[in-house]
């Protein structure tokens, strides 16, 4: 993302506000053209995918002593991109907006990327339920479970 793109997205008050503020400070300190990369290589070019993956691995290892659960995770740029897309979806952002944010040419590409999990589906159903009706999660009988397990 270029500094111009980051600035064009405007102010957002979210849980990520400290990150946004840090990026704004970083961009204000680095005298560059709007089309220059925010995190350039030593030669001023954009980081390659491999360089980004190496940095992610290095920072994952550095953070693991304080957060040991990181040792069991496979963190990649793709995983971070997918996580960001899912967070946007969970926040109620329309998939067409997410597709634009991910720079997908087609919304159906994003639909594949954003397989909705059960909580999102339950929230969507809850919005369609009249307020005076209480919905309980389906609990199959033991005989049904026994039948299904026998298949």
Q: Could you tell me if residue 93 is inside a domain?
A: yes
Q: Which helix (H) or strand (E) holds 146?
A: helix 142-149
Domain count, the chain: 1
**pLDDT of 117 above 80:** no
Confidence band (pLDDT; 50, 70, 90) for 70? very high
DSSP state, residue 72: G
pLDDT value at residue 143: 87
**Alpha carbon 119 to chain centroid, angstroms:** 16
Helices (H), 3-76: 3-8, 17-29, 49-63
Confirm whether 36 is domain-assigned. Answer: no
In this structure, is residue 48 part of a structural domain?
A: no
Q: How many CB atoms lie within 10 A of CB 106?
A: 9
Instruction: Return d(Cα 76, Cα 54) in angstroms, integer.
Output: 9
Domain limits for position 99: 76-151
pLDDT at 104 over 70: yes
Answer whether residue 15 is part of any domain: no
Query: Looking at per-residue confidence, does 116 or 57 come out higher?
Result: 57
Alpha helices in the chain (DSSP H): 3-8, 17-29, 49-63, 77-90, 95-101, 107-113, 118-128, 142-149
What confidence tens digit (pLDDT) does each residue in 24-52 have? 888 888 767 778 888 888 888 889 999 99
Q: Is the pLDDT of residue 57 over 90?
A: yes
Residue 47 lies in a domain: no
> Quick check: is 145 in a domain?
yes
Does any domain span residue 35?
no
For residue 141 the two structure tokens come to: 């009988």
Q: Residue 85: inside a domain, yes or no? A: yes
Q: Which contiguous run of DSSP H or E holds residue 149?
A: helix 142-149
């Amino acid at each position: 993302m270029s500094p111009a793109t980051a600035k064009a997205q405007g102010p957002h008050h979210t849980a990520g506000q400290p990150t946004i503020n840090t990026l704004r400070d970083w961009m204000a300190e680095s005298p560059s053209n709007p089309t220059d990369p925010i995190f350039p290589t030593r030669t001023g070019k954009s980081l390659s995918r491999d360089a980004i993956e190496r940095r992610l691995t290095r920072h994952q290892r550095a953070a693991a002593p304080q957060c040991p659960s990181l040792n069991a995770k496979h963190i990649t740029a793709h995983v971070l991109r997918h996580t960001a897309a899912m967070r946007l979806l969970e926040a109620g952002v329309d998939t067409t907006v997410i597709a634009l944010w991910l720079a997908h040419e087609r919304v159906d590409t994003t639909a594949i990327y954003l397989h909705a999990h059960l909580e999102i589906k339950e929230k969507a159903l809850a919005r369609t339920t009249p307020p005076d009706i209480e919905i309980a999660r389906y609990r199959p009988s033991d005989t049904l479970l026994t039948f299904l397990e026998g298949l």
